[in-house]
Amino acid sequence: MSSLEWCDLTLDRRDGDIVGGVIRLRSAHSKTGRPRVLVLTGDLLDVIIRRAGERHLDCPLVFHRDGLPIGDFRKAWRRACAAAGVESRRFHDMRRSAVRNLVRAGVPERVAMEVTGHKTRSVFDRYNIVSEADLAEAAARVSTYIADRRTQAPPVTPLRQLQRRDG
């Protein structure tokens, strides 16, 4: 995102404060070659608000260092991971986490695919890894569902009762 420019953002303001917005990722900056839209909320919005406070009017970049482009992102990523004690992490790992978080938050998968930029279901499914915890939760949900169904009256009348009435 080091190439993100202020012209790529539309910020919503209320009483002078930034309260939301969108990033319109140009096709040239998108992995898929298709333009995408990212809605700004939560932590992401907070980052953009902080960047707005550091904005240099003579610099079009959202992320810069004193008005100059930031250097090699990969180098900064490695340093940050080392400082956090997670040297084995790759930046791309966050895409997998994003897919899992979107799905587990109940976001429809088609919408999640649009957010993450996945064009095909098969690639999306490779990122949506099923864990043992997911399997345990599924088993618990089915058990609860079946237990609830047992307490309800059957939706149909058993055949034996119908035959006695007719007989």
| Cα 106 to Cα 51, 96, 102, 159, distances in angstroms | 30, 16, 7, 41
Predicted confidence at residue 136, as pLDDT, reads 93
Based on the fold, state whether residues 26 and 58 are members of the same structural domain: yes
Provide the 3-class DSSP secondary structure of residue 61.
Answer: strand
Q: Which of 37, 71, 105 is the last residue of a domain?
A: 71
Helix (H) or strand (E) holding 115: helix 109-116
Closest to 73 in 3D by CA, of 48, 90, 93, 95 = 90
Predicted confidence at residue 110, as pLDDT, reads 93
Predicted confidence at residue 111, as pLDDT, reads 93
Q: What is the pLDDT of residues 35-64, one digit of tens each?
A: 888 899 999 999 999 999 989 999 999 998
Q: What is the extent of the structural domain holding 11? A: 1-71
Report yes or no on 81 lying in a domain. no
- Eight-class DSSP state of 63: S
Based on the fold, state whether residues 97 and 157 are members of the same structural domain: yes
Task: Indicate the pTM of the whole model.
Answer: 0.65
pLDDT at 1 over 60: no
Report yes or no on 82 lying in a domain. no
Q: How many domains does the chain have?
A: 2
